Amino acid sequence: MEFFNKVGKMAIGSRLRMLTETMTDDAAQIYKLYDIDFQPKWFPVFYVLQEGGEFTITSIAKEIGHSHPSVSKIIAEMVKNGFVTEKKDKADGRRNMVSLSAKGREAGAKIQDQYTDVTGAVEELLSQANHDLWKAIEEWEYLLEQKTLLRRVQEHQKVRESNKVSIVPYEPQYATAFKALNEEWISKYFVMEEADYKALDNADSYIIDNGGLILVALYNDEPVGVCALLKMDDPDYDYELAKMAVSPKAQGKNIGFLLGQAIIEKAKALGGHKLYLESNTILKPAISLYHKLGFTKVAGRPSPYERANIQMELAL
């Protein structure tokens, strides 16, 4: 166990796999001990079939939490070894019905003593351990059902990567990046419009000189994200969140959220009471981000952009 103590908790998958292999090897020997020619991996299917009657592969898979192909493969092996019979459903010829064969029922009778002894041995193990592994497994299964390990790792990755991101005010040196980052995503999904060129070619005069501002996200000192706050002449809204763009190579680092949060704080600091934005519903990650930032959908206003088909607002 020195290796796992050295590597730590990130090796939990390897350690559980080793424990599973140990238990499976013992299980194979236990079946021989009770003179039952049986593979441990068949047990969940066999146990369900012991309840009697006929079952579809789909119902067995659902009961034991395995995939349909996995159960289908196990059934084929059990049929080959004479433990199971398979036949067409009389009511629906497209379905195969599975049940224990005479050999399977005989094994079911012989295995009862094994069940008793294995249960006793496992309970003995649990009583000797400081921690109840059975309850721990149940808890882990529940927690992973709520949020997978992959999702948890992705969240930790975002937090770590976001620590390398700094949000800075716009300077003329970022003019090229401001245009290029926006032009990249707009051209991918739509076409550049006249209003785009006005804002992107004249960031200072069109946005900053009119009371707005631009923020730039730097990742390892490289501009990888931008977002603008446009001053609005509107009875309901003070500012518009616009021209948010994140480089594809920097996505997954929480940069859009960090930019959005920073822009919202700037709008508050400038005395704004309500923010407005326009987008398109095919940009699902962007819409999800806006909801996460607190924006809600509102009735449409006339827009200078043909691509805009959703408007949202945020009370500050």
User: What is the reported pLDDT for 139?
Assistant: 97
- The answer to whether the CB of 213 falls within 8 A of the CB of 170 is yes
User: What is the reported pLDDT for 94?
Assistant: 76
> In which residue are the tokens 């945020």 written?
314
**Three-state DSSP state, 236:** coil
In 3D space, the residue among 54, 58, 103 whose CA is nearest the CA of residue 81 turns out to be 103
Q: Where are the alpha helices (DSSP H) in 129-193?
A: 133-146, 149-162, 175-189
User: What is the reported pLDDT for 299?
Assistant: 87
Which residues of the chain are modeled with pLDDT < 70? none
| CA atoms of 256 and 264, how far apart (whole Å) | 12
Query: Where in the chain are the domains?
Result: 2-146, 157-315
Residues facing residue 97 across a β-bridge: 56, 87
Residues facing residue 297 across a β-bridge: 312
User: What is the reported pLDDT for 171?
Assistant: 96
The per-residue pLDDT for range 263-287, each reduced to its tens digit, is 999 999 999 999 999 999 999 999 9
Q: In this structure, how many other beta carbons lie within 10 angstroms of the beta carbon of residue 61?
A: 22
Torsion of CA 74, 76, 78, 81, to 10 degrees: -140
Q: In this structure, how many other beta carbons lie within 10 angstroms of the beta carbon of residue 227?
A: 28
> In which residue are the tokens 């994140």 written?
246
Class level of CATH domain 157-315? alpha beta
| CA atoms of 246 and 241, how far apart (whole Å) | 14
User: What is the reported pLDDT for 175?
Assistant: 96
Q: In this structure, how many other beta carbons lie within 10 angstroms of the beta carbon of residue 260?
A: 24
User: What is the reported pLDDT for 281?
Assistant: 96
Strand segments, DSSP code E, in the chain are: 55-56, 84-88, 96-100, 165-169, 213-219, 222-231, 239-246, 274-279, 296-298, 310-315
pTM equals: 0.69
> In which residue are the tokens 């609005």 written?
232
Which CATH entry fits the domain spanning 2-146: 1.10.10.10, 1.10.3720.10, 3.40.50.300, 3.30.70.270? 1.10.10.10
